[in-house]
């Protein structure tokens, strides 16, 4: 169970975040037409995919796509360890926002058609 202080921190940080998530339909070949959460920057795109229902290791899987390659001054490499796995979607989003901030990536606003409520 999540502690009240942890919920407060997550909610407070979500309200002040400059990052905007969008909800999109995946065209991934093995699992078409399922909803994924997407965060875009000029340098990188983060996608959060739901795991298969039988998976007991986590519920969410995160992929990062290097959009700025080869001109990205801070490109992704093997030490970034993707895909990453999370049980909690909100924590996964906050972790990826922090990761993008740490790398000084520039956010791209989500369009209004697929705007996500950050949860």
Nearest to 65 by CA among 112, 28, 94, 34: 28
Q: Looking at residue 112, what is its pLDDT?
A: 43
Q: Looking at residue 51, what is its pLDDT?
A: 86
Other C-beta atoms within 10 Å of 15: how many?
8
Residue 36 near residue 23, CB atoms below 8 Å: yes
Sorted by where each begins, the domain ranges of the chain are 4-114
pLDDT tens-digit map of 56-108 = 888 999 999 887 777 777 888 878 888 899 999 999 999 999 999 998 888 88
Residue 87 near residue 58, CB atoms below 8 Å: yes
Say how far apart CA 17 and CA 110 lie, in whole Å.
13
Who contacts 31 (Cβ-Cβ below 8 Å, separation ≥6)? 49
Query: How many residues in total does the chain contain?
Result: 119
């Amino acid at each position: 169970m999540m502690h009240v202080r942890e919920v407060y921190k997550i909610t407070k940080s979500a309200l002040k975040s400059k990052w905007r998530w969008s909800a999109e339909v995946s065209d991934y070949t093995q699992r078409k037409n399922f909803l994924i959460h997407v965060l875009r920057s000029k340098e990188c795109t983060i996608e959060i995919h739901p795991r298969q229902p039988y998976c007991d290791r986590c519920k969410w899987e995160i992929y990062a796509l290097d959009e700025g390659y080869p001109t990205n001054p801070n490109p992704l490499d093997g030490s970034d360890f993707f895909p990453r796995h999370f049980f909690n979607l909100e924590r996964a989003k906050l972790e990826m926002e922090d990761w993008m901030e740490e790398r000084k990536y520039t956010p791209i606003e989500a369009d209004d058609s697929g705007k996500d409520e950050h949860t």
